[in-house]
Amino acid sequence: VPAAQVPKEPRVHGAEELSQDLEQRLDQDAVRYVLQVQGYVDPKTTPLDDARETWNTPWVTVGELMLPRQSRVERAAGKKQTDAEVDRLAYSIGNRWSDDPGSLKGVGDINAIREAAYQASAEGRGITGAAGKRCPFGFA
């Protein structure tokens, strides 16, 4: 969720409106988002396998993502390297710091399908094993 109020309409329109809107925002200031989760209560209140249902549980902020202000020149200079690094990653909801059964794991049919789709995407890009599951910032 954006950490600050943003206009309802993008500043630009067209096929690239989201990326162009973000670029304009980054030209002016850092862009911040708060990361939020909702807790599971029971199958009726929080159905895991029906994405059409809105959960009626509070959102809890668990972190913040800050994209620093950058000029278009700075972004262009790092884009090729960033794109290559991202393509070497194998993001998945199934990636965990530990294979310990007590570690967090996605549950339900929807998450099982998501995990299979992420794995197929990584394999399609030639990313397999632990190499793709590393933290791009060197934390693990």
Please, what is the average pLDDT of the chain? Answer: 84
- Confidence (pLDDT) at 140: 58
Q: How many other C-beta atoms are found inside a 10 Å radius of the C-beta of residue 132?
A: 19
What pLDDT score was predicted for residue 71?
86
Q: Please check the confidence at residue 138 and state whether its pLDDT lies above 70.
A: no
Q: pLDDT tens-digit profile of 49-59?
A: 888 999 999 99
CA 39 to chain centre: 18
The rounded distance, in Å, linking the Cα atoms of 78 and 67 is: 14
> Which tokens sit at 10?
């993008």
The arithmetic mean of pLDDT across residues 129-137, rounded, is 69
SS3 of residue 57 by DSSP:
coil
Angle between helices 72-87 and 17-28 (to 10 degrees): 130
> Looking at 13-17, 43-47, 89-93, 112-116, which range is the least confident one?
89-93
Residue 38 clears pLDDT 90, i.e. is over it: yes
User: Kind of pairing, strands 59-67 and 31-38?
Assistant: antiparallel
Question: Which tens digit of pLDDT belongs to each residue from 66-101?
Answer: 999 988 888 888 888 888 888 888 777 777 766 676
Q: What is the pLDDT of residues 59-74, one digit of tens each?
A: 999 999 999 998 888 8
Q: Is 74 helix (H, G, I), strand (E, B) or coil?
A: helix
